[in-house]
Structure formats: C-alpha cells, structure tokens
Amino acid sequence: MPDQSLPKARTPEATTAQSDAAPAHEGFSRRRLLGTAGATGLVLGTAGAAVGYAAAPSEAAAPLTSLGTDRAMFHGKHQPGITDGLQARGHLVAFDLAAGAGRKEAAALLRRWSETARRLMAGEPGGHDDTDVARDAGPSSLTLTFGFGHSFFARTGLEKQRPTALDPLPEFSSDHLDKNRSNGDLWVQIGANDALVAFHALRAIQKDAGRAARVRWQMNGFNRSPGATTHPMTARNLMGQIDGTRNPKPGESDFDQRIFVPEKAEPAWMANGSYAVVRRIRMLLDDWEKLSVKAQEDVIGRRKSDGAALSGGTETTAMDLEKTDAKGNLVVPINAHARITRPDQNGGAAMLRRPFSFHDGIDADGVPDAGLLFVCWQADPLRGFVPVQRKLDRGDALSQFIRHESSGLFAVPGGAAEGEYVGQKLLEG
C-alpha cells in the first residue's frame, strides 16, 4: 500500500472535499453544490442536469441534496474514475468473453456498456429494461471505467495491438494469488457515493453483457462517505492508518507523464489512457490490532493520529529519512512502509492510488476477511507498480500483516469522444 498523497481536486478522497476546480453554479451555494466533503472537479451544479428520474414529466423537478447532484462526465480526454474523488461505494468486476465471441461481439458489448455508462452517469435510466433500483437518486458521482486484460487480445485476434506494458506482472514473494479471482478479458470499475446507485450500475453492466461475456470475478468495496468528517481529510484504511498521503497531484508538472499514456505513444489506441493494477490485499487485522500504537506507527513510519511522518511536522511535511533519536536510532525505521514506498527511494517510481476497503464477512475460525481493494494507475506499470512492489518484497515491515490474494493488470484506453464508445479505436481501427 504505497504512501502517496491525494490531489486537492478531482482526486481520491482526501481532497475530494477540497475541490476548488469547479466554481459554484449560479443559484447554488458552494456548500450546497459540493456538500461538506465536495466531490470532484467534474460536477454539474444545476438541479436540472442531475435530478434523477423519479418525477413524472409533468411534475416540477425538486432539487436533490448536493450528494445526489454531483456528476462526473462520461465523455472526455480520459475515462472517468481515475482522477475523480474516492467514492463511498465501489464494485470491481472482471468478465471473460463467452466461447465463440470475438472482436465483433466485443465491439458491440463496449458500445452497449458505453451508452449505459453515459446514461447512468447523467442520472438517467439505463435503458428500456431499467431495474429502477436508483429511480429516486441522482448521479451521486457515479463513474464507470473500462479496461482490457492481457487475454482479451488473443480472444479477439488483436495480438498485434496488445501493448508490451500489459505483459503479465512478475511474481512477488508476498503473493498468495487465487487465479480464479485474478486477471480477466475485460475489467469494469464502478464507483458512486450512493450504494444503490453503484449497485444499479453493476446490475446494468452485468445485464448488458448478455451472451457475449460472463463474470469471472467481482469484488465490493467502500470508503468514508463524503461529509462524514468535520473537515476534508485523507482516508483511513481498515488498519486505522491515514492512507493516501503523497499521491501524485494533477497540478504537478509531471502528473500526466506519470499517470497517462502520451498522445503519440504506441499502440495509438492507448493514447491518453492508463494502466490499472488491481490487487485484493487482505489485512491480518487480528495480528495487527495486537500491536501497540507505537509499534503500528513504527511499521508504517507515520503517526496514527494525524498521518504525520515520525520525523515530525504535519501529514504533508516532507519525511526526514536521516533524523535520529537520542540513542542514534533512525526515527523512521529502515523497514517502515512509508520510507520504502517513497518515490525518491524508488527511482522516481510513482502511481496514483485509488483504492476501496472491503469486508467480506468472518471466516469459520472467526477471522475477518477484510482489507484493501488496491487500485493504482500509471502510464507504465513496469515503471510504476513493479519497482515499488519489488522493493516492498525485500523487507517491508507491513508485509507480515497483509496478504496479496488476487491480482490483475488492465489497459484502460483514453476517454470516448461524443458519439464514440470506449475502445473504439482498438476494435474498429
């Protein structure tokens, strides 16, 4: 779980609340538009743009609360769900193409999925057979993001278009991977600030798959709800640690270079896209919670109370890796997670983390099946995720309290222009 911070707008949850990128729309106060925690830089502030579809056409539409009106845009340079703020509820689902389905069927499926995503993200019904699960809600910051796995290209006869960056990830010593819950031909990320809105999208995507594809695996996650804290804060994970400090920020000069594929890169269909590494990381909470707070802080390298580095300051104060205590010992232990994951300790390797927590019940022996649905974004996983994970493999103090149980790597193309569907340049190029 690399230690990187969240941007101040259009980025995961710490800064979801601090969105200064979108001015308040006329007729709405900023607090009404964005709520106490805000949403993303991609919001529409008018009630008419995101009122849901509960009222009959002849009735005057009543404004929704700010949480319901928040809307991300489907069409754009990049797909939604990458730089948008962390949502309260998420679903990750992978599909395999059905036997006999190929490029033609895949193109038709992505066309259906893109149209459904466009409608749902606008707060409209999904189609003629809409389930009405979200009838009373607005968009609630819903995002849907689509990607292609390594196996997709052989299934569709597009091997020559498969990026080298999509080569399988190397094995890591901390891996205990379930192959049935890893990889897949297609991947969909769904996020929203309302659980019913997120489920509605999941059900619509599953129904749209029809006979073209079947679900390979699905995982459900959550984050803190917007407005749950008195002021904007970086999210905490299920270990109680502030998780997301030092994420790359869109305002940084090299942000796009680190996170998105250049416009003139090869293959051309991946221009403005990104690569998502998806890992189900189980937290061994019973073992973790036996540690004292001081021991937990030494494992992470940051104070549990406020996320500040053990070397002092606030959450955003640069970590002093050389600082020692009165006995000459390093204040930030040599194997602390935050030390190991710093970009300047990994040749500048960086990734944009956008995770969800999960809890899938209690095992027969009473152990919680809980942890982190780790999702990170980078222009090239061989320069982002891989070098950091290799270093973690060699001595991260946190490794004895977590277990990587599934893994996937997906090529996520750039956003669809008006009138296009996601992946059209690949499937029709």
Burial annotation 59-72 (CB, 10 A radius, 16+ → b, else e): eeeebbebbbbbbb
CB 85 within 8 A of CB 70: no
Q: Of the candidates 38, 45, 31, which has an alpha carbon nearest to the alpha carbon of residue 13? A: 38
- 243, 256, 298, 396: the active-site residue: 243
* Distance (Å, whole) CA 219 – CA 232: 27
**Helix 195-209 with 103-121: angle, nearest 10 deg:** 160
* Distance (Å, whole) CA 342 – CA 364: 38
Query: Do β-strands 143-149 and 89-97 pair in parallel, antiparallel, or remain unpaired?
Result: unpaired
Q: What share of the chain is helix, strand, coil (3-state, %, to 5)?
A: 25, 20, 55
DSSP string, 266-329: SSGGGTT-EEEEEEEEEE-HHHHTTS-HHHHHHHHTB-TTT--BTTSS-TTSPP-TT-B-TTS-
Q: What would the two tokens of residue 202 be?
A: 């999941």
Q: Is 243 a catalytic residue?
A: yes
Q: Of the candidates 238, 278, 195, which has an alpha carbon nearest to the alpha carbon of residue 360? A: 238
CB 169 within 8 A of CB 386: yes
CB 339 within 8 A of CB 394: no
| Catalytic residue set | 243
